Amino acid sequence: MTTARHHYLEIIRENLKIDLAEEKEVISELETHIEDRLQELKERGLSEEEAERTCLGLLGSAKAIARQIYEAHSQGSWQQASLAAMPHLLFAALFALNWWQHVGWLSIVTFMVIGTSIYGWWHGKPAWVFPWLGYSLIPVAALGLILPYLPREWSLLTIPFYFLLALWWIICLLIQTARRDWLLSSLMLLPMPIIVGWFITLAPGLKITAQTPERINYFAPWIALSFLILALTIAAFIRLRQRWLRVSLLIISGLLTLTLVVYYIGGRLNVQTFAGLILVMWGLFLIPPLLERVLRRSRRIWQRYAFFKPSQQ
């Protein structure tokens, strides 16, 4: 394959952002289509270079083709939408039915989240698995909340190690997700500002006290409602085709849900905290695309280095 065709297909591949299995099938079909058109043009008397230039010109912009393919293949089935919404529904049920008080139910939900995340991760990273991956960060955060209550000598040893390990896990998760699609990173992290907002409300001063269970009981219906809204948002996200609609949906839903949290807690979050949560929410939609751009630029530099290195030897 010549450099022009390779570059053209590489641009399409970078902008497809669909499931890996579908991406391979689409690229293979497109390569076959280009080869057939090139053969037809060469049979008409065009040279290899002229045929390639004419063929790629007839196909049009690589980014436009990638956008059309994305809209044709990005819509998930109702089954996939249900799978993507399931972790939000599970956490809504934990609070709506007061299951959060039972270690057994908490353990079941935790194992379901971790097990489903691992299964989806090793089976092509379909779009429905990313909401599960977001909730897989909760056990990591919960462990961090427990560490300060350990004996002092244990805390001094475990807390630095914990933060390094947790930071490594989050960075690896973000990088792997951004390589697939930065929008899926935002989808994965969408519940985090909501969870942080509720935690600040339920544990003032970030300390769990004897009054914390009472506060959870009081706010449980509204906590369940916020997770239910997230579930409906994710289901709609999976069913939408247009990328701009997906971005708009996540932004609007995130802001509305966060506003709902602040409204129902009756002023227990001050203006500075609310503004901080809004900034975190916007960070979910700014940091992932920037990370994706950095990764893409790094990959291009590495590809150029790998391409020119043999010729220098």
Q: Phi and psi for 94 in degrees, rounded to 5?
A: -55, -40
Question: How far apart are alpha carbons 30 and 65 in whole angstroms?
Answer: 10
Instruction: Say if CB 285 and CB 181 are below 8 A apart.
Output: no
What's the token pair of residue 132? 């599960």
The model scores a pTM over 0.85: no
Question: How far apart are alpha carbons 256 and 47 in whole angstroms?
Answer: 59
Check residue 154 and give its pLDDT: 67
Type of residue found at 129 = V
Count of beta carbons in the 10 Å neighbourhood of residue 160? 10
pLDDT per residue rounded down to tens, the chain (313 residues): 457 788 888 888 888 888 777 888 888 888 888 888 888 888 888 888 888 888 888 888 888 888 888 888 888 899 999 999 999 999 999 999 989 888 899 889 989 998 999 898 888 788 899 999 888 887 777 776 666 666 766 666 677 777 787 788 788 888 888 778 888 888 888 888 888 888 878 877 667 778 888 888 988 998 999 999 999 999 999 999 888 899 899 888 888 888 777 776 655 556 667 777 778 777 777 888 888 878 777 766 665 665 555 544 4
Angle, alpha carbons 297-303-308 (nearest 5°): 130
How far separated are the first and last CA of the chain, in Å rounded? Answer: 23
Q: Phi and psi for 309 in degrees, rounded to 5?
A: -60, -45
Question: How far apart are alpha carbons 190 and 182 in whole angstroms?
Answer: 12
For 136-185, the DSSP string reads THHHHHHHHHHGGGS-HHHHHHHHHHHHHHHHHHHHHHHHHHHHH-HHHH
Question: How far apart are alpha carbons 131 and 186 in whole angstroms?
Answer: 10
Instruction: Say if CB 135 and CB 113 are below 8 A apart.
Output: yes
Question: How far apart are alpha carbons 73 and 154 in whole angstroms?
Answer: 51
Instruction: Say if CB 232 and CB 81 are below 8 A apart.
Output: no
Q: Phi and psi for 97 in degrees, rounded to 5?
A: -100, 5
Cα Rg for the chain, rounded, in angstroms?
A: 24
